[in-house]
Each structure stands twice: as structure tokens, then as C-alpha cells.
């Protein structure tokens, strides 16, 4: 995993840092989640779970970001 600092200034503030996964990590993540994703696609028309999961994620994303900033 590589950390890229997008700051133009010379301070050590990592607020704009971006984590870039290597292709091995990305492949392992995809392999581990492919069956879950397929099941979501197959069952979503009947259950609506994927849409609900996305809505909850979008609602909670800001809360998680604020929480992570508070712990720093």
C-alpha cells in the first residue's frame, strides 16, 4: 500500500493523503466479495437490500468521517 501526499505545502498534515492499494490487495478484495456482490444483484429485485445498504452507507458516511476526524 502506498500513501500519496497531495498537499502542496511542506507541513506534515495528512488530511489530503490518498491511500492507493496495490493490485494484489485489490484482487484479493474482489475475490473475497464477488459472491456477495452476485447475491446482491440476483436478490435485489425481490428484497431491495442493496438499495437499502447504499442509502444507509450514504447517510452514515458523513458521520463516520466526522468520527474518524475526532479520533485523530
Report the pLDDT averaged over residues 64-69: 83
- The alpha carbon of residue 17 and the mean position of all alpha carbons in its chain are separated, in whole angstroms, by 15
As a whole number of angstroms, the longest Cα–Cα distance in the chain is: 53
Q: Which tens digits make up the pLDDT trace of 1-24?
A: 444 444 455 555 555 544 556 778
Confidence category of residue 63, pLDDT binned at 50, 70, 90: confident
Report the pLDDT averaged over residues 20-32: 81
More confident residue, 19 or 53: 53
Amino acid at each position: 500500500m502506498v500513501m500519496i501526499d497531495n498537499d502542496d505545502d511542506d507541513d506534515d498534515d495528512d488530511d489530503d493523503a490518498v491511500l492507493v492499494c496495490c493490485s494484489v490487495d485489490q484482487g484479493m478484495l474482489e475475490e473475497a466479495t464477488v459472491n456477495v456482490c452476485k447475491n446482491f444483484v440476483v436478490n435485489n429485485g425481490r428484497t431491495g437490500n442493496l438499495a437499502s445498504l447504499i442509502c444507509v452507507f450514504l447517510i452514515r458516511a458523513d458521520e463516520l468521517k466526522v468520527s474518524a476526524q475526532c479520533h485523530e
